[in-house]
Amino acid sequence: MTVSVSENHPPAAPPRAAGRDLFATLRRNHLAGLVSIATGLALWEVLSRLVVANPLFLAAPSQILGAIVSLAATGELWRHIGISSLEFVIGYAIASVLGIALGLAMASSALAKQVSQPWISGLYATPTIALAPLFILWFGIGISSKVMVVILLVLFPVTINTEAGLRTTSPRLIEMLRSFGATPRQIFLKVSLPSATPFILAGLKLGIGRGLIAVVVAELFGSRAGLGRLISQSADAFNMPELFAGVIVLAAAGIAMTAGFGWLERKLVPWTQD
């Protein structure tokens, strides 16, 4: 990872010293985080083994790990992960493309904005996840109903952020480009789009958590496979270690994807880091 030079750093001096400081800080921060997680897990282990002492109510981390290992060994875990991933990826990809396109349309046409704004604001504020059972009724118990729910939840933050990012482009930067005789198309490509990129990425990042929720909740309402299915069938069988195994895998996926996005943001929009 390269570290950007801080704002007030004299540009003549190499940024090496500041970079090393930052690395040291990062290591300290990570250390504290790791210690915190380890302590939490230890407490959890003690609490579930000695205080609750009933795996029907609370599974210990070691039991959960055991469940993950055995589910992985039989291949069942991979089947569930595969199905959920497929639903997430298809829905998320469609929602991203559609959301950015819709945001572009709303930013470039007053009519498009007037027509779609009430729907988008309304649906964004509604807990649309409640419509998941309806989607299963309409689109069946298979993958397509989950994909639709993912689209429904991911689409709006992406659309809203894209539109807001384009709309809040600095008028001064636009004027600068105009002073060189730039066409509207050039202004869009050279100023509006790059300056909206951090907003679009933030919308996509918001979409990750919402998309994961969509997959799991939709699967809970009716499915043949997937992590939501794993969770609901484990709950029905009072198999707490397997239930937690499903939750942990989801959490890991969410954390990994969000971290990946953080990396992507540092690469694509480093100017927003200061």
Instruction: Give per-residue burial for 201-221: e unless 16+ CB within 10 Å, then b.
Output: bbbbbbbbebbbbbbbbbbbb
- Selected from 51, 56, 74, 172, the binder of other proteins by CB under 8 A is 172
Q: CA–CA separation, 64 vs 77, rounded Å?
A: 13
Q: CA–CA separation, 64 vs 59, rounded Å?
A: 7
Strand, coil or helix: 182? coil
Give the DSSP letter of residue 57: T
Give the DSSP letter of residue 236: H
Q: Identify which range of 5-13, 132-140, 159-167, 242-250 contacts other proteins by CB under 8 A.
A: 5-13
Least distance in angstroms from the C-beta of 179 to other proteins: 4
Q: CA–CA separation, 266 vs 263, rounded Å?
A: 5
Q: CA–CA separation, 53 vs 10, rounded Å?
A: 60
**The dihedral sign for the CA sequence 122, 108, 152, 135:** positive
- Selected from 125, 127, 130, 179, the binder of other proteins by CB under 8 A is 179
Residue 119 carries which side chain, given as an amino acid letter?
W
CB nearer to other proteins: pick between 18 and 86: 18
Q: CA–CA separation, 177 vs 184, rounded Å?
A: 10
Residue with tokens 């290992």: 69
Regarding 11 and contact with other proteins (CB under 8 A), the answer is: yes
Least distance in angstroms from the C-beta of 237 to other proteins: 53
Residues numbered 182 to 211 that lie near other proteins (CB under 8 A) are: 182, 186, 190-191, 194-195, 197
Site size with other proteins, rule: CB under 8 A: 27
Residues numbered 212 to 241 that lie near other proteins (CB under 8 A) are: none
Q: Identify which range of 56-64, 67-75, 179-187, 234-242 contacts other proteins by CB under 8 A.
A: 179-187
Q: Pick from 189, 190, 198: which is nearest to 168 by CA?
A: 198
Regarding 2 and contact with other proteins (CB under 8 A), the answer is: no
CB nearer to other proteins: pick between 122 and 270: 270
CB nearer to other proteins: pick between 105 and 177: 177
- Selected from 50, 56, 180, 236, the binder of other proteins by CB under 8 A is 180
Least distance in angstroms from the C-beta of 216 to other proteins: 37
CB nearer to other proteins: pick between 166 and 231: 166
Q: Identify which range of 7-15, 22-30, 114-122, 223-231 contacts other proteins by CB under 8 A.
A: 7-15
CB nearer to other proteins: pick between 235 and 269: 269
Instruction: Give per-residue burial for 125-145: e unless 16+ CB within 10 Å, then b.
Output: eeebbebbbebbeebeeebbb
**Residues of the shown chain interacting with other proteins in the complex, contacts defined by CB under 8 A:** 4-5, 7, 9-11, 170, 172-173, 175-182, 186, 190-191, 194-195, 197, 269-271, 274
